[in-house]
Amino acid sequence: MTQPYFETPPKITVSITATCNLQCKHCYADCTDKPTTSELTTSEWLAFIDYLVENEFIQIYFEGGEPLHRPDFDTILESCGRRMMTLVRTHATLLTSERAKKWKALGVGRLFVDLMGATAKTHDYFTGSDGSFEKSCNGIRHALAAGIPTDAVLILTKRNVGELQAYLELAHELGAQRAGILRLYPLGRAKHHWKEFALSLQEQVEALAALRPPAGLHVMRSWHPNDANCCWQAAAVDPFGNSIGCMYLREYVNYGNIRSVPFLDTWRNDALYKKLRAGKVEKSCTQCDHNEGTRGGCRSTAYAYTGSWNAPDPFCSELNEGVDIRVLPKWLLHDRPKP
Partner 1 sequence: MFCRNGCYMTVPNLRFRPIPEMDDYVVFTPDNPNLYSLNQAARLVLAFCDGRTGTALESAYCAALDPLLPRREARAELRKTIEDLERKGILRNTRP
State the CB neighbour count (10 A cutoff) for residue 286: 10
Question: In whole angstroms, how close is the CB of 305 to ligand SF4 at the nearest point?
Answer: 13
Question: In whole angstroms, how close is the CB of 291 to partner 1 at the nearest point?
Answer: 17
Total residues contacting partner 1 by CB under 8 A comes to 19
293 near partner 1, judged by CB under 8 A: no
Question: Alpha helix (H) ranges present in the chain?
Answer: 42-54, 73-80, 97-106, 120-127, 132-145, 164-174, 188-192, 194-197, 201-209, 263-269, 271-278, 286-292, 299-306
Residues pairing with 113 in the sheet: 90, 152
Closer of 109 and 214 to partner 1 (Cβ)? 109
Question: In whole angstroms, how close is the CB of 248 to ligand SF4 at the nearest point?
Answer: 4
Q: Which one among 41, 43, 44, 58 touches partner 1, defined by CB under 8 A?
A: 58
Question: In whole angstroms, how close is the CB of 65 to partner 1 at the nearest point?
Answer: 23
- The 10 Å CB-count burial string (b at 16+, else e) for 136-174 is bbbbbbbbbebebebbbbbbbbbbbbebbeebbbbbbeb
7 near partner 1, judged by CB under 8 A: yes
Closer of 83 and 192 to ligand SF4 (Cβ)? 192
What are the backbone angles phi and psi of residue 178, rounded to the nearest 5°? -140, 150
Q: Which one among 56, 206, 321, 324 touches partner 1, defined by CB under 8 A?
A: 56
CA dist., res. 136 & res. 132, Å (int): 6
Closer of 10 and 131 to partner 1 (Cβ)? 10
Which of 14, 7, 336 has the alpha carbon at shortest distance from 187? 336
What are the backbone angles phi and psi of residue 209, rounded to the nearest 5°? -65, -30
CA dist., res. 293 & res. 290, Å (int): 6
59 near partner 1, judged by CB under 8 A: yes
Q: From partner 1, ligand SF4, none, which one binds at residue 339 (CB under 5 to 8 Å depending on kind)?
A: none
Judge whether 198 and 326 are in contact, CB under 8 Å.
yes
Closer of 176 and 298 to ligand SF4 (Cβ)? 298
Question: In whole angstroms, how close is the CB of 134 to ligand SF4 at the nearest point?
Answer: 15
107 near partner 1, judged by CB under 8 A: yes
CA dist., res. 339 & res. 336, Å (int): 10
Closer of 86 and 294 to ligand SF4 (Cβ)? 294
User: 11-15 and 59-63: which strand pairing?
Assistant: parallel
CA dist., res. 124 & res. 126, Å (int): 5
Closer of 79 and 93 to partner 1 (Cβ)? 79
- Contacts of partner 1 in 77-106 (CB under 8 A): 81-86
Closer of 7 and 50 to partner 1 (Cβ)? 7
User: Side-chain half-sphere of 126: how many Cα atoms within 13 Å?
Assistant: 24
Q: From ligand SF4, partner 1, none, which one binds at residue 229 (CB under 5 to 8 Å depending on kind)?
A: ligand SF4
Closer of 4 and 322 to partner 1 (Cβ)? 4
Question: In whole angstroms, how close is the CB of 108 to partner 1 at the nearest point?
Answer: 7
Which of 281, 169, 282 has the alpha carbon at shortest distance from 216? 169
Question: In whole angstroms, how close is the CB of 212 to ligand SF4 at the nearest point?
Answer: 27
CA dist., res. 237 & res. 225, Å (int): 27
Q: From ligand SF4, partner 1, none, which one binds at residue 230 (CB under 5 to 8 Å depending on kind)?
A: ligand SF4
Q: Which residues bind ligand SF4 (CB under 6 A)?
A: 20, 22-24, 27, 29, 31, 64-66, 91, 114, 127, 229-231, 234, 246, 248-249, 298-300
SS3 328: coil
Closer of 109 and 339 to partner 1 (Cβ)? 109
**Residues binding partner 1 (CB under 8 A):** 4-7, 10, 56-59, 81-86, 107-110
